[in-house]
Amino acid sequence: MSLVISQSEPAGLPPGASLVHLPVIRQRVVLRPHTGAEDLLVKETSGGETRAALTVAESLVRDLEGRAVAWGELCASDLDAFILELRRLWIGDRIRGDVQCSTSDCGQRIDIEFTITDFLAHHQPGDSPPAVRGWTVRSLDDCGWYRLQQDPGPAAVEFRLPTPNDQLAVAGRADAIEELARRCLRPANVRAGLRR
C-alpha cells in the first residue's frame, strides 16, 4: 500500500481535511489543510531536516480519533513518505532535477524526472519480506521487532527499523553507526557480516 490521499473520505472529517495512509505501519491518519503557519513553524525550527519534518507532521496530522500521532516513534520511512506526499500536494507530483556528474573526467549534465506517485508505488512495502539466499524475516511482536534468521543455521539477529527519534539521537555523533546499532539491533554487537 503506497501513501495515497483517499478519494472517498469517511464522514466526520474536518472541512478540507484528507485521509492519508502511511505505507509501513498501514495506519490511516487525517491531514488538515495547510494554512501557511507551518511554513513559519519550519523556518523557526532548529535541529535539521528530521526535526523540521517532525514539526510539520505533528502540526498537520491527527489519528482518526483526533489524537496526536507519535511520529518520532514510527518508522522513519513513514515520515519520509508523508513529507513526499506533502510535497506532491503543495507543489505537484513531478520532480525534475538537473545535476552535473561528479566524476572528475565526466562532468556531463544529467536530467532526472519522475513522479512522487510512481516513486512511492515502486517503494511500497510488501506484505512480508521475501526470503533472500536462505534468510527469512519474521515478525516478533507488535512493537516492530523482527528476527532475521538464516535457514538452516544458528545465525540470527533481531532488529527494528530506525525511527525519527533514533535519527535525532544519533545526529552529529562520532559513534552514530554504533549508537544506531545499539538502538535497533539485538544483540548490538553482532558480527559485521550479519549486521549488513
**What residue type is assigned to position 68 of the chain?**
A
The tally of CA atoms less than 13 A away on the side-chain side of residue 186 is 9
Q: Which residues on neighbouring strands pair with residue 183, listed in sequence order?
A: none
Peptide bond into 187 cis (omega under 30): yes
Total-model pTM = 0.80
Tell me the helix, strand and coil percentages in the chain, rounded to 5. 35, 25, 45
Confidence band for 140, pLDDT divided at 50, 70 and 90: confident
pLDDT of the residue at 17: 86
Place of cell 545465525: 155
**Tens-place pLDDT, residues 16-73:** 888 888 998 888 899 988 888 887 877 887 778 899 999 999 999 999 889 999 999 9
pLDDT of the residue at 30: 92
**Tens-place pLDDT, residues 145-168:** 888 887 777 778 889 999 999 999
**Secondary structure (H, E, C), 10-37:** CCCCCCCCEEEEECCCCEEEEECCCCCH
Lookup: cell for 70: 507519535
